[in-house]
C-alpha cells in the first residue's frame, strides 16, 4: 500500500513483517535489518522522491562510482524505547549536521533536512516494534549516501542514493576492551577525511586492526600521523583518559570525528563538576601516568559502543592493565547517558526527541 499523507515522504509498507523470525536475545551487531528502509535518489541536480519502502536488495551498476572511488558517507544513530513504549531518538540534529558535513568533504550534495527527519519519523512509526524495550536494547539507524553514477572517470558523481537502514542491536563490545597504541599505521592525516564519517576511513582500519586482533587486542588507539606522539581516537569510538580525577580527551580536528557521545560525555562531566581538560595528550604522559598510578581509567565513547571501558593498553610491546576504580567515571557516564536515552531521568539538555 502506498500513501503520501501529510509529509513529502512516500510510504510503501511491507505486506508481512519479518519480526517474528528475529531472535532479539541473540543479536550480532548490525546483521539484521527491520522491515522498512528509506531511499532517495539524486539526479538532474536535485534529490528526487523520498520513499520509505520494504527492506530489500538494490540493483546498482558495477560501474557506479562508489565501487571505484569510495565516494560514500554514513552516520550511526540509535532509537530507544522507554518503559511506557514510547520511542526516542538521541540528538538526531547532530547526526543530520554531521552527515552533511561529511558529504561536503566527499563532494556529495547535501541532503534536505525535512526529508531526513520525515524519513526517521516515518521509519520509526512503522517499525516501532523493532525497538525492543530494556536497557541495552536499541534500534541502530544507519543513514548513508553513495555515488551511483555509472563511470570510472575519477571525478564526483552527478547521481547519488541516500538511504536509511535500521538494525536491532545490543552491545557492540560485550566486554571491556584491550587496545594497542598505534606506532606504525595511521587512521587520518592533517587536511584529510578523518573528521568525516567517510566509508573509506573505516575500511582502511581493517588491516591494521586485524594485525592487532592477531596479537589479542580488540582495537587500536590511533595517534597523530606525523609523530605517533599524541593520542587521538579509536576508530569506532572517541577516547577519554582519567588521570587522577581529571577527564582528558583530544580536541576535535580534521583528523578526529566530532562524536555525539563524546560531546554528551563532556556536557555530563561539566554538569557533574568533573574537571575536564580537552587537550592533546601524549603517549609518554599516558605511560608515565600508568606507571605512577595516576592513570585511573580509559574509556571509549560512541553511538554503537556507548561507553566502553578499556581494561588494558599496549605500547612498545608492554601491556598496562587498568583496574576499574569504585567511583568509575565510565560507569557513571554510561548510566547517566542511558538514563536520558531511555527516558529514565530528566533531560536537562533537551537531547531526547520523541517519535510521535
The residues that touch ligand COI, with contacts defined as CB under 6 A, are 76, 202, 236, 302-305
How far is the C-alpha of 71 from the C-alpha of 42, rounded, in Å?
A: 14
Minimum CB separation of residue 256 from ligand COI in Å reads 14
Pairing state of beta strands 177-181 and 306-315? parallel
The three grid cell numbers given for residue 157, joined into one nine-digit string: 558523481
> Where do the H-state alpha helices sit in the chain?
65-69, 92-105, 113-126, 199-214, 260-271, 283-292, 329-341
User: Which lies closer to ligand COI via its Cβ, residue 137 or residue 303?
Assistant: 303
How far is the C-alpha of 177 from the C-alpha of 168, rounded, in Å?
A: 22
Find the angle CA(123)-CA(102)-CA(168) to the nearest 5 degrees: 30
From residue 63, how far is each of 59, 66, 147 by CA, in Å?
A: 12, 8, 10
User: Which lies closer to ligand COI via its Cβ, residue 212 or residue 304?
Assistant: 304
User: Which lies closer to ligand COI via its Cβ, residue 144 or residue 217?
Assistant: 144
User: Which lies closer to ligand COI via its Cβ, residue 99 or residue 295?
Assistant: 99
Report the residue number whose CB is nearest to ligand COI. Answer: 76
User: Which lies closer to ligand COI via its Cβ, residue 140 or residue 160?
Assistant: 140
Minimum CB separation of residue 202 from ligand COI in Å reads 5
Report the Cα–Cα distance between both ends of the chain, in Å, rounded: 21
Find the angle CA(300)-CA(301)-CA(302) to the nearest 5 degrees: 130
User: Which lies closer to ligand COI via its Cβ, residue 50 or residue 235?
Assistant: 235
How far is the C-alpha of 56 from the C-alpha of 107, rounded, in Å?
A: 27
Minimum CB separation of residue 304 from ligand COI in Å reads 3
Which residues share a beta bridge with 199? none
Minimum CB separation of residue 250 from ligand COI in Å reads 17
Minimum CB separation of residue 255 from ligand COI in Å reads 16
Minimum CB separation of residue 45 from ligand COI in Å reads 30
How far is the C-alpha of 160 from the C-alpha of 46, rounded, in Å?
A: 10
User: Which lies closer to ligand COI via its Cβ, residue 149 or residue 238?
Assistant: 238
Minimum CB separation of residue 197 from ligand COI in Å reads 6
Which residues 6+ apart lie within 8 Å of 91 measured at CB? 260, 264, 351, 353
Amino acid at each position: 500500500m502506498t500513501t503520501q499523507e501529510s509529509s513529502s515522504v512516500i510510504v510503501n509498507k511491507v505486506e508481512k513483517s519479518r519480526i517474528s523470525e528475529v531472535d532479539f536475545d541473540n543479536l550480532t551487531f548490525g546483521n539484521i535489518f527491520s522491515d522498512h528502509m528509506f531511499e532517495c535518489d539524486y539526479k538532474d541536480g536535485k534529490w528526487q522522491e523520498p520513499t520509505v519502502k520494504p527492506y530489500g536488495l538494490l540493483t546498482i551498476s558495477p560501474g557506479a562510482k562508489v565501487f571505484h572511488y569510495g565516494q560514500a558517507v554514513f552516520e550511526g544513530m540509535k532509537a530507544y524505547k522507554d518503559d511506557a513504549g514510547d520511542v526516542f531518538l538521541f540528538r538526531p540534529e547532530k547526526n543530520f549536521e554531521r552527515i552533511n558535513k561529511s558529504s561536503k568533504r566527499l563532494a556529495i550534495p547535501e541532503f534536505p533536512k525535512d526529508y531526513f527527519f520525515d524519513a526517521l519519523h516515518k521509519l520509526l512509526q512503522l517499525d516501532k516494534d523493532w525497538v525492543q524495550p530494556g536497557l541495552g536494547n536499541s534500534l541502530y539507524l544507519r543513514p548513508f549516501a553513495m555515488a551511483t553514477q555509472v563511470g570510472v572517470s575519477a571525478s564526483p558523481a552527478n547521481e547519488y542514493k541516500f538511504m536509511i537502514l535500521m538494525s536491532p542491536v545490543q552491545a557492540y563490545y560485550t566486554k571491556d576492551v584491550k587496545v594497542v597504541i598505534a606506532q606504525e599505521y595511521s587512521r587520518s592525516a592533517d587536511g584529510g577525511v578523518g573528521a568525516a564519517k567517510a566509508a573509506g576511513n573505516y575500511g582502511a582500519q581493517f588491516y591494521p586492526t586485524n594485525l592487532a586482533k592477531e596479537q589479542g587486542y580488540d582495537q587500536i588507539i590511533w595517534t597523530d600521523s606525523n609523530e605517533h606522539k599524541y593520542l587521538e581516537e579509536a576508530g569506532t569510538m572517541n577516547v577519554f583518559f582519567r588521570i587522577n580525577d581529571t577527564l582528558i580527551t583530544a580536541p576535535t580536528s580534521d583528523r578526529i570525528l566530532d562524536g555525539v557521545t563524546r560531546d554528551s560525555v563532556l556536557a555530563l562531566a561539566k554538569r557533574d563538576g568533573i574537571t575536564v581538560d580537552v587537550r592533546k595528550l601524549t603517549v609518554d604522559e599516558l605511560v608515565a601516568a600508568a606507571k605512577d598510578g595516576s592513570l585511573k581509567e580509559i574509556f571509549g565513547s560512541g553511538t554503537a559502543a556507548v561507553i566502553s571501558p578499556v581494561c588494558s593498553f599496549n605500547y612498545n610491546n608492554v601491556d598496562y592493565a587498568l583496574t576499574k576504580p569504585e567511583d568509575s567515571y565510565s560507569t557513571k557516564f554510561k548510566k547517566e547517558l542511558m538514563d536520558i536515552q531511555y527516558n529514565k531521568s530528566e533531560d536537562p539538555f533537551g537531547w531526547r526527541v520523541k517519535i510521535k
